Structure 1
Amino acid sequence: MARPFIRPTIAAFNRDAVPMAKAVRSTVPEVRGVYENLMEALRELRSCVFLCGQRVLSDDEIAQQACLPPTALAQTLPQIIERGLFARDDTGALFSTLLYDRQLRREEREARKAVADQHWQAVQQTGEVPPGLTRKQITARENGRKGGAPRKGETAEQRDARRARELAAEQAQRKMPLVGVVAGTHAQSNNPNQKPNSVSVIENSVISVPIDLELESDNTIPSSSNSADEPNNPATEKAEYTDAQAKELAARILTASGLGDDQVGFAISFARQYLGRGVCSDLIVRAVAAHKQKMADNGEFPRRVGVFKGPIERAIAGEEVAQLVTEAEPTAAPMLEWQKKAQAAYARSSTVFAAEMSACRDFGRLQRDWPEIAAQHGLPPVERTLAAYEAHFKPQSEQVAA
């Protein structure tokens, strides 16, 4: 059983005058140090007042309890009491105003909780609890009906009155008439299916119609234009591509990402989506390879094609250009066969590196042993960069010519 909290003997306590705990920062170091020793001593005593049974401790005994020299306590205690950090009760005992205020607030919370528990038990006994709802859900529903917690400085009655006014204003707004000016020159509809003379409109007339927004919100408003009669919008037209192009791009995405056959369908869907938007295939593959490299450097590896959607979109929007693409040219030259091999090997090296990193969790050792590991997986034992792989796969004739 927990010990009862020792309280001071005081008839009236002004809780509004209790300073904040951080107010002690404005004191000099000597006062702050004595204050901290006094608070620590009270916490060890599980009390907010310096009492020993019914005996009021003297200042010398308080100094001994707080491990302070009596002279230090005598010099700083008047300043501590003046700032409201400590006070003396009706019996002359020294107590902490902050700890006493915390204890009072703790008791108020426990009292409110006890009342709520009794109310909940009574509701359960009467069978008024809706089935399938927890106590927390029911309490939230009741608080919602009341309009939430009262605002600062607002009583429960004022909150209820304010909530009633807000509901009345909402109802009045829903029934508010809509006033519109309809010009005769714009009243004619472009819909060829519309019956002629179905609506009589007077030029520059004002129409006032009361509409219940709650009822009208369920109605479907038909479009005033016929999509079949709309001219072709170049911005919405899809680029043409073949199934072979989509499958080739999907294979390059899987190779650059290091994913398996279970993601083939998603890769094809990605390829069709971006090819239909007219996005360059090389840009997509470079974005996938760059993001895969970032994940590998962090010891991570992708599990789904969807993780590359964000990097691809950023690459399309022109973000992270320095990391994803080289300088753009008006007409990009097609990739050579050795370049495709270099990118495929580089992408596979990222997958191998990520798997080895997950297994050993030692980046330094993995860097040292990488040439041997790369050779075991059929990869060239070169530095794990795209430039190194391109230099390895580049034909000797082109290197000499360069």
Structure 2
Amino acid sequence: MDIPGLPARQAALNLIDAVLRRGETIEQAAGAALARVRGDADRALARAIAGEALRWKADLDLLIDSATRQRLPDDAKPRAVLELMLAQVLRLETPAHAAIATGLPLLAGGPRRLAHGVFSTLMKRHASLPEAPALPDAVVARWAGRADAIAVGLAVPPPLDLALRDPEHTAEWAEKLGGISLMPGHVRLGRGAAVESLDGFHEGAWWVQDLAASLPARFLGRGEGRRVLDLCAAPGGKTLQLAAAGWDVTALDISKRRLDRLKENLGRTRLAAQVVQTDALSWQPDTSFDGILLDAPCTATGTCRRHPDVLHRIGPRQIEEMGELQARLLERATGWLKPGGVLVYAVCSLEHEEGEGQAIKVALSPLPIQADELPPGLTPMQEGWLRTDPGMLADAGGVDGFFIARWRKE
């Protein structure tokens, strides 16, 4: 007999398994995991369940362990199913009976009685979660003194940030869309907005872009027709910013699929850029550039509030691999700058090796980021670099974690 809602829960279980066992992102796993789920609402539900179970995994496991005489193995299927059931009740306001009806069938042929008993015990105790999720031990060790403050920003998924094509109309768009603005060219809306139905989408007045992600392109200033290279550009938010700021943009990326999205966004916003699909490690430009923006490939741990899977699948090996790639890209980028040209380096990572550890290697003259270039509440580091994390601007909805640095070629 078909059980309504069961395919979505099975898909959520498959998503978590892909993250924890195979190290895939939820996005990478979604195609196969959601193949049998019908309807956008159920697909969104599966993602939400998996996301909240991963976001609160350490706390959910503590609850589960408090209700078992013998600790379930970390990779035991009943543990994963209980995490899904508890995440629904404690985070998504699913009734307990619905969590049971769609959770226990996932243990067909397995210890349903055990899972039912643990879940019922926790419901009788009125189990709850803390205000901020606990981070995995390995993450706490890496982020050290920053971990507690970052965790505060992970309690809920982020709001929706928009970058405006014309910053002069910021107040107008904030009022029209019912949002707030944290700096010119930015509007923040509540979660759950259907993007394509919002005013201004079809005429290309804005695009979706986290506030912190919009900062690197801002640090290059106005283009006034000068040439800029956007390295690793897709899916294109920074390319759109640079084009709107008057730069003659060359947008380079290795991924055809991601560049197709960039081209769609250029068409929607009626902005122009030369799009190049190639590997930046083998490409040679025919000229030098007045500005280069390298938003480098990274572990993306700074996006943990929207992609909590990174908390569980990133470790020393991935950080080291990304660091090696970033160093090679930085070395090539510095050679393509004109004298007087400006290089901005950015990563959406919270790892020291990908941020400060790369910045100290750059043999260019520092061009410190200034406080008046930032939204209120963010402050440059002593070195003139910028590091943001999800715990910053928490009262206004937070920001993604980024490291950004800037130099000039003398």
| TM-score grouping bracket, smaller chain normalisation | under 0.3
Higher Cα radius of gyration: 1
Q: TM-score if structure 2 supplies the norm length?
A: 0.21
Structure possessing the higher relative contact order (Cα contacts under 8 Å, 6 or more residues apart): 2
Question: Greater strand percent: which structure?
Answer: 2
